[in-house]
């Protein structure tokens, strides 16, 4: 009984003699994460890139080719897609005309209704319209009337550019 009494007698003293807990020490560190802008473009011709005007009606009124190009755009920020020809005129074969303008080519995104005429100045044909990182588009091609130009082969280099 004597031992039990001493435990009860010293217990309050031990509790009273304990040191208070040290307050926590903290320090903040500021950091940053750099996410570089991502922009990538892939252009694929869906068919043979040689386009033949097959009859007088197509030579008179032009020819439309749906889904001529497939574009894959990857971007983590808003973008616009521009296209231009490297010259104002097609490069002719020896039989062709030197003045066959690239502006007789028209492009549009397949779900749109209005074509954009090609030139050697960049023209916007698509702007980002959603928050997806990856987007696929089909581009329709239209060739205007070619009656005013000599028969022959004509060549053009189209330049697609993606930018902010």
All domains in the chain, ordered by first residue: 41-51+60-163 (2.60.40)
pTM over 0.85: no
pLDDT at 26 over 60: yes
CA distance 104 to 89: 9
- Confirm if 137 and 126 have CB atoms less than 8 A apart: yes
Q: What is the per-residue pLDDT for 16?
A: 52
Alpha-carbon gap, residue 24 to 39, rounded angstroms: 47
Q: Is a pLDDT exceeding 90 seen at residue 93?
A: no
Angle at 115 (CA atoms; ends 136, 122), nearest 5 degrees: 75
State the pairing for strand pair 158-163/80-85: antiparallel
pLDDT confidence tier of residue 17, bands split at 50, 70 and 90: low
Report how far residue 79's alpha carbon sits from residue 96's, in angstroms, rounded to the nearest whole number: 38
């Amino acid at each position: 009984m004597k031992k039990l009494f001493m435990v009860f007698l010293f217990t309050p003293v031990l509790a009273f003699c304990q040191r208070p807990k040290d307050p926590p020490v903290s320090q903040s560190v500021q950091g940053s994460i750099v996410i570089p802008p991502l922009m990538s473009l892939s252009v694929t011709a869906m068919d043979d890139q040689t386009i033949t005007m097959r009859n007088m009606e197509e030579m008179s009124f032009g020819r439309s080719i749906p889904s001529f190009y497939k574009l894959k755009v990857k971007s983590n920020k808003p973008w616009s897609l521009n296209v231009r020809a490297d010259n104002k005129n097609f490069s002719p074969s020896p039989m062709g005309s030197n003045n066959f303008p690239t502006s007789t080519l028209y492009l549009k995104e397949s779900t749109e209704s209005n074509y954009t005429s090609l030139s050697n100045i960049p023209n916007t044909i698509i702007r980002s319209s959603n928050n997806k990182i990856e987007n696929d588009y089909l581009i329709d091609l239209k060739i205007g009337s070619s009656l005013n130009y000599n028969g022959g082969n004509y060549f053009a280099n189209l330049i697609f550019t993606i930018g902010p």
